[in-house]
Amino acid sequence: MKNYIFTAALFIGCTLLKAQNITHAEYFLDNDAGVGNNTIVTVTNPQPDGSYNLLINLSGAGIGYHKLYIRTRDSDGNWSITTRRNIEVISTIIIKKIIGGEYFFDSDPGVGAATPITISPQDSVILQNFAAVTTGLSIGYHKLYIRTKDNDGNWSLTGRRNVEVINTPISVIAGAEYFFNTDNGIGFANQVTFSSPAADSSFSFKIPIDKIPAGSNTLYIRVKDSVNKSWSITQWQKDSVVTSVKSGKWSNPATWSNNKIPDANTVVLLYHNVDVDIVNAVCKSLTPYRNNVTCNVEAGKALNITGRK
């Protein structure tokens, strides 16, 4: 590969009875072809001494270390002493991209034979996340090795990190507990178990009517996992339990457990039959809690279920 370097040389002319101007220079690499027989450079601003830049042609010089020799000639044709500098010729630097990688644990299967890593985006400098699969590894400490490959197929040095494989069993929601208004402490509320525990699901359960205090209440619920027996954050719903306590008219407060006619934010759980006897009856939701329980809307009347939060 052809390369050039600039050299700043301080040329001092030969001193005779009077100083002569430096008019030429010559240089060569490694081997001297003889005074005046090497690469000649004309000095553009001749003077007795000065600092000059030379563009050195390195065509034909192999990659590696060389010796650069320089000498000058004055206007009377006299040559200076030859000076020497050690130089290194390097190939043109080409920025390469990292296009792939691979990893392995503990034992090296050979370059290119490990588990591949997809690199995206591909660049000369990267910060790449990847998931190392630990299936088949024993519980305990292991060594994770990683290396990358550039677009010329060259592999990097192999990096190493110490890792620990731990047992992480899948946790599922195994149960729940609920209470109204006052918390007696985690694990001391009304317990609920689920027939089909799952890590993430929608569960339903029934609350016996004798567990529901009279009046307007706030229902609290939290769930427990199966592995660490950890409890979730407690969730709550205000005015979530207002039920019909006996068969009767919608407009009669005595029909309801809180002695209050439902409004748009009331969740109604029916334990008994109810007749809607007013035009503008309203509730947030309506759920029959027992079989054969009905909500009968009388002729000319209406029940609006808002579903609002």
Q: Collapse the DSSP code of 236 into the 3-class scheme (helix H, G, I; strand E, B; otherwise coil) and give the result.
A: strand
* Residue 26 CB neighbour total at 10 angstroms: 21
CATH number (domain holding residue 34): 2.60.40
Last residue of a domain, one of 238, 255, 272: 238
Q: Are residues 234 and 246 in the same domain?
A: no
Residue that is last in its domain, among 182, 205, 238: 238
Q: Are residues 135 and 183 in the same domain?
A: no
Angle made by CA atoms 285, 266, 242, in degrees to the nearest 5: 100
Query: pLDDT tens-digit profile of 94-106?
Result: 888 999 999 999 9
Q: How confident is the model at residue 81 (pLDDT cuts 50, 70, 90)?
A: very high
Q: Which residue has the tokens 């002695």?
A: 259
Same domain membership, residue 253 and residue 227: no
Neighbours of 136 (CB within 10 A): 6
Q: Answer yes or no: do 11 and 84 share one domain.
A: yes
**Last residue of a domain, which of 38, 59, 89?**
89
pLDDT classification of 50: cutoffs 50, 70, 90: confident
Q: Could you tell me if 233 and 246 lie in one domain?
A: no
Q: Are residues 107 and 58 part of one domain?
A: no
pLDDT of residue 197: 77
Confidence (pLDDT) at 274: 95
CA distance 178 to 188: 9
Count of domains for the chain: 4
Query: Does this model's pTM top 0.75?
Result: no
Q: Residue 288's domain spans which residues?
A: 242-305
- Report pLDDT digits (tens) over 240-251: 556 788 899 999
